[in-house]
C-alpha cells in the first residue's frame, strides 16, 4: 500500500514542496503507526525548507505536531489500542504525511469529542507554551506576564494558558489581531499604532515570553521584577541568523547584574506528562486552539506562503483526511 507525504526537494521558496508516494511499512518494535488526520504548520518548518540551518539536506519531510488514529502497534507497545485517537509531536519531524511512525511516549490519547485540527496544535504550540509557563518561568496566580508575538501559534497558546493560570497578561500584536488578544482575555499592545517600548517601560512583569527576539528586548527585560524570567521561544530574524541570536542571549545573560534569568527554550521532560495535561484542558473545553485555516495536505506550499505572509493568527493545519 502506498501513501502520500510532502517532501522538501531543494532549499528555496514554498514551491520546492512536492507530493510523493512511498510504500507503507509496518511499525518496528517500540513504535506506533498513526494514520494522520491533521498536521500542524510551524515557522520552523518554513525555516528548514528555506535554508540549511538545521544541517539536513533535501529531500526530507517536515512537520512537528499532528493528530490521527492508531493504525498498527509495533512489538512491545501496549499503551495504545488500534483505532484509538491520538495527538502529539513527531521527533522524526515528518508529520506532513498520511501516515507517521512515532514512539508512544510522544503521543497522548484524545477523546472522540476533540476536533482533530485543534488537537494538532497541542504537540508543538501548547507544549512549548505550557513548559515555558510552568516548567521554566514557574508562574504563580496573580503575576504579570508579557508575550511578544502574541497572535502566533505559540504566542496565542501562551496567552490562553496564562489566562487559565490567572495571570495578568499583556501581548503585542498587529492592529488586525489585537481584537483576538482581547477576546482571549489579555491586554493587547498594538505594535503598529502604539509606542510599544514606552508602554512596556511603564509596566512591570514577572515573566516575559519572546517569540520575535531583539526588537523590544531591552525594554521588556528592564520591565521585569528582580527575579523575573525572560524566555525566548522564537526568532523573527532569518534562519541564518539564529546562531548569532542564541549567542546574544548567552552574552546578555552573562552580562546581567540582576537576578533576572534569560532562557532559550528547548523541549523539556516530562513532555508526556505535560501533553497529557494539555489534552485534558482541550477535552474539558478549558482551551480553544485557534485554527487559522485548514488546508489540504497536497497544498502544503500554499500553507507556507500564507504563514510567511504574516497574515496568520493562530495556526495553519494541513488536513490529511477529507472528513476532518
**Which CATH number do you get for residue 37?**
3.90.180.10
Report how many domains make up the chain: 2
Lowest average pLDDT, out of 63-77, 146-160, 247-261, goes to: 247-261
Predicted model pTM? 0.92
Boundaries of domain holding 220: 124-264
- The grid coordinates of residue 137 equal 518561568
Asked if 318 and 39 count as a contact pair (C-beta separation under 8 A), the reply is yes
283 within a domain of the structure (yes/no): no
Same domain flag for 143 and 248: yes
Same domain flag for 115 and 132: no
Long-range contacts formed by 77-82: CB under 8 A, 24+ apart: 77/27, 77/30, 77/31, 77/32, 77/104, 79/104, 80/32, 80/104, 80/107, 80/109
**Hey, which bits of 28-82 come out as E strands?**
32-41, 65-73
Same domain flag for 151 and 137: yes
Same domain flag for 259 and 136: yes
Q: Cell 537576578 belongs to which residue? A: 259
Whether the pLDDT of residue 253 is over 70: the answer is: no
CA–CA separation, 54 and 157 (whole Å): 25
Same domain flag for 113 and 15: yes
302 within a domain of the structure (yes/no): yes
Which domain CATH number covers 181? 3.40.50.720
CA–CA separation, 87 and 3 (whole Å): 20
**pLDDT tens readout for residues 187-217:** 999 999 999 999 999 999 999 999 988 788 8
CA distances from 258 to 53, 139, 140, 145 (A): 33, 19, 21, 19
Same domain flag for 101 and 149: no
Whether the pLDDT of residue 250 is over 80: the answer is: no
Same domain flag for 86 and 174: no
Q: Report helix, strand or coil for 314.
A: coil
Query: What local confidence, expressed as pLDDT, does residue 112 receive?
Result: 93
Asked if 19 and 31 count as a contact pair (C-beta separation under 8 A), the reply is no
Whether the pLDDT of residue 284 is over 60: the answer is: yes
Torsion sign over Cα 176, 180, 182, 186 = negative
Query: What local confidence, expressed as pLDDT, does residue 264 receive?
Result: 79
Same domain flag for 148 and 228: yes
Same domain flag for 82 and 134: no
- The grid coordinates of residue 114 equal 476533540
269 within a domain of the structure (yes/no): no
Same domain flag for 160 and 228: yes
Same domain flag for 260 and 143: yes
246 within a domain of the structure (yes/no): yes
38 within a domain of the structure (yes/no): yes
- Find out whether the peptide bond into 59 is cis, omega within 30 degrees of 0: yes
Same domain flag for 210 and 147: yes
Whether the pLDDT of residue 90 is over 60: the answer is: yes
CA–CA separation, 314 and 176 (whole Å): 13
CA–CA separation, 192 and 241 (whole Å): 24
52 within a domain of the structure (yes/no): yes
Query: What local confidence, expressed as pLDDT, does residue 202 receive?
Result: 95
> Confidence band (pLDDT; 50, 70, 90) for 256?
low
Question: With left for phi above 0 and alpha for psi between -120 and 50, is residue 212 left, alpha or beta?
Answer: alpha
- Pairing mode, if any, of strands 187-190 and 205-210? unpaired
**pLDDT tens readout for residues 136-174:** 999 999 999 999 999 999 999 999 999 999 999 999 999
140 within a domain of the structure (yes/no): yes
- The grid coordinates of residue 224 equal 521585569
Query: What local confidence, expressed as pLDDT, does residue 217 receive?
Result: 86
281 within a domain of the structure (yes/no): no
Amino acid at each position: 500500500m502506498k501513501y502520500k507525504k510532502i517532501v522538501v526537494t531543494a532549499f528555496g521558496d514554498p514551491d520546492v514542496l512536492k507530493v510523493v508516494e512511498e510504500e507503507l511499512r509496518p511499525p518496528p518494535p517500540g513504535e506506533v503507526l498513526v494514520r494522520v488526520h491533521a498536521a500542524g504548520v510551524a515557522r520552523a518548518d518554513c525555516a528548514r525548507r528555506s535554508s540549511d540551518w538545521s544541517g539536513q539536506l533535501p529531500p526530507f519531510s517536515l512537520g512537528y505536531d499532528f493528530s490521527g488514529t492508531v493504525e498498527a502497534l509495533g512489538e512491545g507497545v501496549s499503551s495504545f489500542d488500534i483505532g484509538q485517537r491520538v495527538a502529539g509531536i513527531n521527533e522524526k519531524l515528518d508529520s506532513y504525511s498520511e501516515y507517521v511512525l512515532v514512539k508512544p511516549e510522544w503521543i497522548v490519547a484524545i477523546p472522540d469529542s476533540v476536533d482533530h485540527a485543534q488537537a494538532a496544535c497541542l504537540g508543538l504550540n501548547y507544549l512549548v507554551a505550557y513548559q515555558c509557563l510552568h516548567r521554566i518561568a514557574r508562574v504563580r496566580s496573580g503575576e504579570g506576564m508579557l508575550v511578544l508575538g502574541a497572535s502566533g501559534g505559540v504566542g496565542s497558546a501562551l496567552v490562553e494558558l496564562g489566562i487559565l493560570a490567572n495571570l495578568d497578561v499583556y501581548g503585542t500584536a498587529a492592529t488586525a489581531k489585537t481584537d483576538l488578544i482581547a477576546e482571549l482575555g489579555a491586554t493587547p499592545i498594538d505594535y503598529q499604532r502604539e509606542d510599544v517600548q514606552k508602554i512596556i517601560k511603564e509596566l512591570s512583569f514577572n515573566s516575559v515570553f519572546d517569540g520575535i527576539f531583539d526588537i523590544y528586548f531591552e525594554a521588556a527585560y528592564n520591565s521585569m521584577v528582580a527575579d523575573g524570567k525572560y524566555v525566548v521561544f522564537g526568532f523573527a530574524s532569518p534562519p541564518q541568523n539564529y546562531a548569532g541570536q542564541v549567542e546574544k542571549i548567552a552574552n546578555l545573560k552573562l552580562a546581567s547584574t540582576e537576578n533576572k534569568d534569560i532562557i532559550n527554550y528547548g523541549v523539556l521532560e516530562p513532555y508526556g506528562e505535560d501533553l497529557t495535561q494539555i489534552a485534558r484542558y482541550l477535552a474539558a473545553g478549558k482551551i480553544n486552539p485557534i485554527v487559522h485555516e485548514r488546508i489540504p495536505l497536497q497544498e502544503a506550499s500554499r500553507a507556507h506562503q500564507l504563514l510567511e505572509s504574516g497574515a496568520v493568527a493562530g495556526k495553519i493545519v494541513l488536513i490529511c483526511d477529507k472528513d476532518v
